[in-house]
Chain A
Amino acid sequence: MLSKRVIPCLDVHDGRTVKGINFVDLIDAGDPVEQAKLYNDFGADEICFLDISATNEGRKTLFNIVSKVAESCFIPLTVGGGIKNNADINNLLKSGADKVSINSAAVFKPSLIKEASDSFGCQCIVLAIDAYKDQSNYKSGYNVSTHGGKKKTDIDALEWAIEGEKNGAGEILLTSMNADGTKLGYDIELTNKISTEVSVPVIASGGAGKPIDMVNVLNKGNASAVLAASIFHFGIYSIENVKKEMLKYKIPVRNTW
């Protein structure tokens, strides 16, 4: 049986790992290569890097980090943040990333997902959607934001997910901007809405505070995987804690590593 995946996410800024509450107030928490190795050893099913560097120097550092991580981590590695075109994707895949996640750039250039998927295969193209609740949205109730949540758009999140799948995204990384950083649990309603309407796997993200939050979004939100940063990052809970909780609720997990 296919296991539900537990994915720690590392936010990387100029070569260092950080995690911010609601994407601001960055706190330095370590070396990404070491962190990735630890997660690999402690049972992560995948690792996700989100590059939040604003500069070209920061970006170049990322390629180095990715290739170092690929030498020591033998689980899938997804890298996102600032990807604008096929050349960026090619560089990341060549450095050793298995998948790339595309966020704002797809909003500005919707053909990007299709171009990327046609060139590299849908298995490596993840559409990242930062969704926020919007009272005036009468379709799904959620709109898409860009730039790490800083800019709001009037694009409906569900329609965007369906279009992304049609264009060849192999997976959707769905972050609730309302839940992100709150540690009060994932947005189950959002996750379920999107996941039941697309056939590709959906990774739930934003809001994880304790292992039962993961169980809930996997069971009630129909997610294929859960992503979390700070709860793993500061050692509040381990991946194993989460998997034990999942097992308690009979959710299939990968429990030997």
Chain B
Amino acid sequence: MIVIIIDYGSGNIKSVYNSVKRTLVNFNKFSEVKVSRNLSEIKKADKIILPGVGSFDQCMNRIKKIRDLVDTLEDQVITKKKPFLGICVGMQILADYGYENQKTKGLSWINGDVKPLKKFLSNKQNLKIPHMGWNSLCIYKNSSLFNDITANDQFYFVHSYFFDIKHKKNIICNAHYGINIPAIVNHDNIFGFQFHPEKSGKSGFKILYNWLKSS
């Protein structure tokens, strides 16, 4: 299995690489992970991970700057149905539009828009923004992603915007922070995590393992 982490200048690539590399120890010895923006390497990938930190508009612009990257990803993920995982802003840009800094068109792989959390939280709740720190997942659907994961497992979140998903069926689970925040989204072979599995300790490894195994 070849896992490619898309390199488009996102700051946290090394952490994602380190955690996938460690998770792959549980798979056969031919499994490897690479960080790449090389289109022919991406075409050879079995699974694709799109990390992301920073803002929606900045991530989207960086991706579009790499020639033919969006087309290649669409061919690999939408047409060829390769397993895909977007992390944090890498998940948010799957949306139709993002409203961080300016209205920006996303990839439109999963319907919905990325909106500011503060507009949805009431002042009474006295909640800090960003939603930063460890939160549990409200699991109400069966998914092989949750193997060995309980309500005690917590995951590291850091975001001020959230993916307001259009069709409920695309939400695998929420995290609660004043409102229900889609924490794992899915459409066919496409998954997105709002939290950072690479920064979520053992719980993060479990969910990465489950995604690598089941996808």
Contacts and interface: CB of A to CB of B under 8 A. Distances in A.
B136 interface: yes
Interface centre among A3, A4, A95, A225 (most CB of B within 10 A): A3
A45 B134 contact: yes
B76 interface: no
B130 A123 contact: yes
Contacts, number: 104
Contact of A201 (B19, B128, B152): B128
B166 interface: no
Nearest to A67: B14
B199 A74 contact: yes
Contact of B11 (A2, A3, A120, A224): A120
Contacts of B131: 2
B159 A123 contact: yes
B179 to A, nearest CB: 13
A93 B12 CA distance: 7
A98 interface: yes
Instruction: Give 4 nearest A-B pairs by CB, closest first.
Output: A121-B54, A254-B134, A3-B134, A256-B152
A257 B202 contact: yes
B53 A123 contact: yes
B130 A170 contact: yes
B160 interface: yes
Interface of A: 1-5, 40, 45, 67, 70-71, 74-76, 93-96, 98, 120-124, 170-171, 199-201, 224-225, 254-257
A73 B191 CA distance: 25
Interface string B17-48: 01100100000000000000000000000000
Nearest to A198: B128
A122 to B, nearest CB: 7
A74 B11 contact: no
Given A93-B11, A96-B14, A201-B133, A120 B205 contact: no
Interface string B122-165: 00000011111111100000000000001011101111100000
A123 B53 CA distance: 8
B123 to A, nearest CB: 10
A70 B199 contact: no
A199 B200 contact: no
A37 B4 CA distance: 27
Contacts of A76: 156, 158, 196, 199
A254 B130 contact: no
Contacts of B113: none
B15 interface: yes
Given A3-B135, A96-B15, A75 B154 contact: no
A171 B130 CA distance: 8
Given A170-B160, A256-B152, 15 more contacts: A2-B133, A3-B134, A45-B134, A67-B14, A74-B200, A76-B156, A93-B12, A95-B14, A120-B53, A121-B54, A121-B55, A123-B53, A199-B128, A200-B129, A224-B132
B203 interface: yes
Given A121-B11, A255-B152, A74 B205 contact: yes
A193 B179 CA distance: 27
Contacts of B136: 1
Contact of B133 (A94, A98, A200, A224): A224
Nearest to B156: A76
Interface in B34-88: 53-55, 58
Contacts of B133: 2-5, 45, 201, 224-225
